[in-house]
Amino acid sequence: MKKVMLVFGTRPEAIKMCPLVNELKARTDEFETVVTVTGQHREMLDQVLRVFDVTPDHDLAIMKPGQTLFDVTCDVLLKLKAVLEDETPDVVLVHGDTTTSFAAALACFYLQIPVGHVEAGLRTHDIYSPWPEEFNRQAVDIVSEYYFAPTEASKQNLLGEGKLESGIWVTGNTGIDALRTTVREGYSHPELDWAEGSRLILITAHRRENLGEPMHRMFRAIRRVMEEHPDTKAIYPIHMNPLVRKAAHEELDGFDRLHIIDPLEVLDFHNFMAASHLILTDSGGIQEEAPSLGKPVLVMRDTTERPEGVAAGTLKLVGTEEDVIYREFSRLLSDQAEYEVMSHASNPYGDGHASERIADVIGGK
């Protein structure tokens, strides 16, 4: 029997790792499954754990007010050492591109414990965009033994860097697995009741590289377009970062067809996506989830590590310039043919069975 430890610490990681946790735990004859959370996000992480009924075996509880990348990296590295030495797992699974994943992979490297990278091979090829995520995921792939690539394009990125094909498996994305659990018929919420009868715009914005003037430009563009389309309403579940909140309130307060609300639990957020007309985001995971729900996505970033969605027509990269966002957002609201093309494009990110494939690989099937 293999002892498998999963390490994660943020809400996006938890959404994508909890389906894998539950798949591994269901195979009690194959795996001893150990869950370690770092608490890089606290409240938002705990929400996801509740939805998927996952109870951590270890909680490093690193989050503190005003934490920096230095704090997160050092605290994960130092606190995880004792857990790894006590548990001695056969393999440690980390996800994606967070600082938790980078520091956990580094700790495993120092202790010579094999690492499996879930969502391996995503690249923008610019280590400052997104920052620090592009560096984190490249660094994790340097020390990994198992590469679970969500798409063929991700596999090709890894091969191009000299990774051995025998260690790469194209599994699909575990985020699509999560939607099978969370999106529900008959779901209701007071905010969706408020938006009923309007075209609902769902907004997320939080990335570090967009803080400051880029975020102000994004919000101004959104408000301009919505002022010209009275049949729209928007919901913005806002990030906990005080700099994000300050920019949002400065640009969006006083506009009664846009509700700024506290972060939603994952079950709620996925059902809000399902009820929306289109989505504006600078997030990563939403670029994968929304297409499987048939929702066009305007990505308010200058680069994306998910070019498959752009190629498939489900995503459009619009950057952070006000006039570009204004033009592309307006077009999707005014041009039904353009909207139909994006909403009916195929989803390149998987079929909802990625966790099963990953478990099969780890189990030697």
340 is catalytic: no
Give the chain's largest Cα–Cα span. Answer: 61
288 annotated active-site: no
Rounded to whole angstroms, the Cα distance separating 323 from 228 reads: 14
The yes-or-no answer on residue 97 being catalytic is yes
Q: Are 265 and 290 spatial neighbours (Cβ–Cβ below 8 Å)?
A: no
Q: Which of 13, 23, 75, 97 is catalytic?
A: 97
Q: Which of 117, 239, 306, 357 is catalytic?
A: 239
Catalytic pick from 133, 209, 288, 302? 133
Question: Which residue in the list 199, 206, 220, 224 is annotated as catalytic?
Answer: 206
CA count, 13 A, side-chain hemisphere, 224: 15
Candidate list 119, 268, 302, 328, residue with the active-site label: 119
> How many Cβ atoms from other residues are within 10 Å of residue 233's Cβ?
22
Q: What are phi and psi of 105, to 5 degrees?
A: -65, -40
123 as an active site residue: the answer is: no
* Residue 170 near residue 155, CB atoms below 8 Å: yes
Structure tokens, 34: 């150990």
List strand residue ranges (DSSP E) for the chain, in order.
Answer: 2-8, 31-37, 58-59, 91-95, 115-118, 146-149, 168-170, 199-204, 232-237, 258-261, 278-281, 297-299, 315-317
Residue 119 catalytic? Answer: yes
Is residue 191 flagged as an active site residue?
no
Catalytic position from the list 208, 229, 257, 259 = 208
Positive or negative: CA dihedral 350, 353, 356, 360: negative
Length of the chain in residues, anyone?
A: 365
| Residues belonging to the active site | 97, 119, 133, 206, 208, 239
